[in-house]
Structure 1
Amino acid sequence: MNKPLLEFTDKGIYCNPAKVYLDPWKPVKKAIISHGHADHSRWGHQQYITHRRNVPIISHRLGDINVTGVNWGEPFVINNVKFSLHPAGHIIGSSQIRVEHKDEVWVFTGDYKTEDDGISTPYEPIKCDTFITECTFGLPAFKWTPQAEVLQNINQWWAANKAEGKTSVLFGYSLGKAQRLLKYLDKDIGKIYTHGAIENMTRVLRPLVNFPDTHLITKDTKKTELLGNIVLAPPSAHGSSWIRKMVPYVTASASGWMAFRGARRRRAIDRGFVLSDHCDWQGLLASIEATGAEKIICTHGYTEIFSRYLRDQGYDARTEETQYGEEENETIVAKEEVEP
């Protein structure tokens, strides 16, 4: 029996003909990286290949690495295997990895979303035979409200807090979510302050996106300066000594997990805004249908439920274990996510 084009190993997803890994979670010689989140781009590989927009991101996060950047749709061949990167829409520089060998095409999505957030290159469906998909939010209960409506609600929340003389503290992952929020915060309401983790990453991305001005919170920042303004911070800052200087403040979190009624209460957050950088249920199904793929591999999220549904719809669907999926829960902390 011939080996599949992509295999799931203890180091990561492996393309044996090319001797290359996709988003490996253990150190390898050659890795193709889908995007910059810490669960997909790890330290220790001898060579990294990724989209050129992701180069400054992973260089910032991982330090001095041997990395090559390529453009969207630009083919590169390794041992007669043809690879190309295509927009995943997840965060800036996020890619799907297309792999072609002997008339067989596989696509590995990494993480992806189909809603155009206005800062990431929008998701592009790619025809293939086998589609490796995440299903972080692979339940019918997950149905996202359009981004414009959510962001309008966030600005209204900020304005209401300002009217009460309180600081608004908004939590979002330091890479991706924070910049998505920042892009659309209404600077006419007040000033935008940032935690060091978010400020550092935003500085890396400013050459790529026109963001509003921000003000880094330092040990010299006074509480009176923050009143009525908004603070962007990573979830890891919640409950830390760093946040105490914000009093009186109101907290909110922007995450797909806020769709669960108990999530906000468990995290002791005052307000939850449902905003995810992943597909909802319908987004996943529409993406899979658009590929024309017959074989679907579900890698992280609600894998069992989602793959069972796909089999009921006539797909050849199965699950595979990986070490992806932690970034929404902040269980992997990047190097820059420390108190300033």
Structure 2
Amino acid sequence: MQETPLLIFNDNGIYCSQAEVYIDAWKPVDKCIITHGHADHSRWGHKNYITHTKNVPIIKHRLGEINVTGKDWGETFTINSVTFSLHPAGHIVASSQVRVEYKGEVWVFTGDFKTENDGIAEPFELVKCNTFITECTFGLPAFKWTPQAEVFTDINNWWATNKTENKTSIIFGYSLGKAQRILKHLDTSIGKIYTHGAIENMTNVLRENYNFHETTRITRDTTKKELLGNIVIAPPSAHGGTWIRKMVPYVTANASGWMTFRGARRRRAIDKGFVLSDHADWDGLLKTVKETGAEKVIATHGYTEIFSKYLREEMGLDARTEKTQYEEESGESAKKEGEVAE
């Protein structure tokens, strides 16, 4: 084992000094490996980007013309004797974990991840390691996800009920990841699927590599009559704005892990909440940590103190926390079109 940790946390991000490479840096750097396309992990300003091949069009759509190299799953690449490879994180489409190996020591940075196969993102791959850097966005025992098949049955039944009442169904989900997951599992026998422009734009980028139902972009010419009985997928930033006023009468819903808490729906003035997250729940986090075989665990964002304390006291692991500038799933603030993960 080398004296200097293989990965360190500094003011710019997570850094491999031996390779002079960052992972998901939050300040501009020379070379950065990007785990996925959400704005808190793929930032503008790096000189060189490395990411999964399927994530290349996503971050180009969001960041513009950048110098980016695409890698396939499991493809190894070596920089200054450090070997890197990308492995599916299951968080959203084209999301990666980063495996880093040097002199027989292996670290894995998950980025954001979930263990349930959602039928669209490449399924999570367990990667054995010595040190595991994990998110714990939902690192509390209160968070335990219902299988998504049941959740989507509820969503489609909600839509069908609203249709019988001649109302438009509006469901909010972030434009990259959650929106496409919802889209993938909607029952098109109920009606048509309409989309906010930001979601339509991102979905069209993804259609190159993924299959989705047909959608119709909402424009200024879209009438209230066309929307009645159908469903609209919109980013959370559209809620409460002038954009949705033309859709009255409508019923709103939010799909988020935070819908576990009853008060979350009330604070957002949402009619219906569906518990659906693109992150691992408490059991998923613990199971993954155990199965990696890691002796050391670093919790980076979420309920870091509670989660790391549990790993130390209940599982006997060497666990600690590190501060990052990744935003936890909040659902409170879709501040920009590059919303963070929910």
| Same fold, TM-score > 0.5, yes or no | yes
> Residues 141-180 of structure 1: matches in 2 within 5 Å?
141-180=142-181
Aligned counterparts of 1:333 and 1:239: Cα–Cα separation in 2? 13
Kept in 1, the 8 Å contact 2:268–2:332? The answer is no
Q: What do residues 95-147 of structure 1 show as CA deviations (whole Å, max 9, x unaligned)?
A: 00000011110000000000000001100110100000000000000000000
Residue 12 of structure 1 aligns with an amino acid whose one-letter code is: G
Kept in 1, the 8 Å contact 2:175–2:202? The answer is yes
Aligned counterparts of 1:329 and 1:28: Cα–Cα separation in 2? 29
Aligned counterparts of 2:57 and 2:329: Cα–Cα separation in 1? 19
> Residues 1-340 of structure 1: matches in 2 within 5 Å?
2-312=3-313, 313-326=315-328, 328-329=330-331, 331=333, 333-335=335-337
Q: Show structure 2 runs of 5+ residues with no match.
A: none
Aligned counterparts of 2:151 and 2:256: Cα–Cα separation in 1? 11
Q: What do residues 198-234 of structure 1 show as CA deviations (whole Å, max 9, x unaligned)?
A: 0000000112221111000011111111000000000
Evaluate the alpha carbon distance shift between residue 291 and residue 75 of structure 1 in structure 2; reply closer, same or farther with a 3 A threshold. Answer: same
| SS of the residue 1:329 aligns to | coil
| SS of the residue 2:204 aligns to | helix
| SS of the residue 2:58 aligns to | helix
Evaluate the alpha carbon distance shift between residue 331 and residue 39 of structure 1 in structure 2; reply closer, same or farther with a 3 A threshold. Answer: farther
Residue 88 of structure 1 aligns with an amino acid whose one-letter code is: A
Residue 163 of structure 2 aligns with an amino acid whose one-letter code is: K
| SS of the residue 1:149 aligns to | helix
Q: What do residues 287-335 of structure 1 show as CA deviations (whole Å, max 9, x unaligned)?
A: 1111000100000000000000000110000000001124543646445
Kept in 2, the 8 Å contact 1:175–1:198? The answer is yes
Aligned counterparts of 1:247 and 1:334: Cα–Cα separation in 2? 25
Aligned counterparts of 2:58 and 2:70: Cα–Cα separation in 1? 11
Measured after TM superposition, the shift of residue 252 of structure 1 is 0.2
Aligned counterparts of 2:316 and 2:271: Cα–Cα separation in 1? 43
Aligned counterparts of 1:331 and 1:27: Cα–Cα separation in 2? 24
User: TM-score under structure 1 normalisation?
Assistant: 0.97
Aligned counterparts of 1:261 and 1:28: Cα–Cα separation in 2? 41
Q: Show structure 1 runs of 5+ residues with no match.
A: none
| SS of the residue 2:156 aligns to | helix
Aligned counterparts of 2:271 and 2:324: Cα–Cα separation in 1? 33
Residue 76 of structure 1 aligns with an amino acid whose one-letter code is: F
Evaluate the alpha carbon distance shift between residue 148 and residue 228 of structure 1 in structure 2; reply closer, same or farther with a 3 A threshold. Answer: same
Evaluate the alpha carbon distance shift between residue 53 and residue 334 of structure 1 in structure 2; reply closer, same or farther with a 3 A threshold. Answer: farther
Aligned counterparts of 2:46 and 2:210: Cα–Cα separation in 1? 29
Kept in 2, the 8 Å contact 1:39–1:332? The answer is no
Q: What do residues 66-101 of structure 1 show as CA deviations (whole Å, max 9, x unaligned)?
A: 000000000000111000000100001000000001
Aligned counterparts of 2:152 and 2:166: Cα–Cα separation in 1? 21
Kept in 1, the 8 Å contact 2:137–2:329? The answer is no
Aligned counterparts of 1:141 and 1:119: Cα–Cα separation in 2? 26
Q: Give the root-mean-square deviation of aligned CA atoms.
A: 1.2
Aligned counterparts of 1:77 and 1:3: Cα–Cα separation in 2? 19
Residue 317 of structure 2 aligns with an amino acid whose one-letter code is: Y
Residue 322 of structure 2 aligns with an amino acid whose one-letter code is: E
| SS of the residue 1:126 aligns to | coil
Kept in 2, the 8 Å contact 1:197–1:336? The answer is no
Kept in 1, the 8 Å contact 2:163–2:228? The answer is yes
Kept in 2, the 8 Å contact 1:37–1:327? The answer is no
Residue 320 of structure 2 aligns with an amino acid whose one-letter code is: R
Aligned counterparts of 2:334 and 2:161: Cα–Cα separation in 1? 33
Kept in 1, the 8 Å contact 2:91–2:279? The answer is yes
